[in-house]
């Protein structure tokens, strides 16, 4: 292991101006971040509120992040038995920090809760997700609506059968 990998610490990110400024360095910056900024500016949320984001700092700089959102069992259309699961998205490692284990560290952290995980892969990163033990699901047009979901099942959990 390199020094960088030994130091990996996953942190729950707080919504504040510093975090929102750091988010601008990530390619997948969009409506979710802008609405957090607006909520902060209009005092709808307090400074330092918890966000659904987790991240890794390296030398005081946010270099990797993901959003992890717990979905209630009643919305589960993927796992058998039907259960609470995580939606993981916006996993991204800044270019100079890729291939150092930060992406894997975030995914391992998400897995550590023992709940199934669903993510939506960008074509280029499919190989990464497969290395992380994720599998593609049988595409179901009504459920997946043009998405390309990849899922991870903890032991004892399998996939629901689809109608397609």
Residues that bind ligand COA (CB under 6 A): 91-93, 98-104, 122, 124-125, 127-128, 131
Residue closer to ligand COA (CB basis): 64 or 115: 64
Residue closer to ligand COA (CB basis): 84 or 125: 125
Residue closer to ligand COA (CB basis): 78 or 102: 102
Instruction: Say if residues 11 and 55 touch (Cβ distance below 8 Å).
Output: yes
CB of 98 to ligand COA, least distance (A): 3
CB of 52 to ligand COA, least distance (A): 15
The span from the CA of 111 to the CA of 120, in Å, is 16
The span from the CA of 117 to the CA of 114, in Å, is 9
CB of 154 to ligand COA, least distance (A): 20
Q: Which of 102, 13, 8 lies closest to 53 in space, CA to CA?
A: 13
Residue closer to ligand COA (CB basis): 6 or 72: 6
Q: Which of 152, 149, 2, 67 lies closest to 162 in space, CA to CA?
A: 149
Tokens of 96: 């100079």
């Amino acid at each position: 292991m390199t020094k960088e990998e030994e130091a990996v610490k996953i942190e729950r990110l707080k919504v504040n101006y510093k975090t929102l400024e750091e988010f601008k360095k990530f390619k997948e910056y969009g409506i979710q971040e802008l609405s957090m900024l607006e909520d902060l500016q209009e005092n709808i949320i307090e400074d330092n509120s918890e966000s659904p984001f987790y991240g890794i700092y390296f030398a005081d700089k946010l270099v990797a992040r993901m959003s992890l959102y717990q979905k209630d069992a009643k919305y589960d259309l993927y796992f058998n038995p039907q259960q609470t699961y995580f939606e993981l998205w916006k996993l991204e490692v800044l270019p100079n920090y890729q291939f150092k284990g930060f992406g894997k560290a975030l995914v391992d952290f998400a897995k550590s809760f023992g709940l199934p995980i669903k993510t939506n892969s960008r074509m280029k990163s499919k190989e990464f997700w497969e290395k992380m033990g994720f599998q593609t699901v049988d595409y179901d047009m009504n459920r997946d609506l043009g998405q390309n979901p990849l899922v991870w099942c903890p032991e004892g959990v399998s996939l629901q059968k689809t109608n397609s």
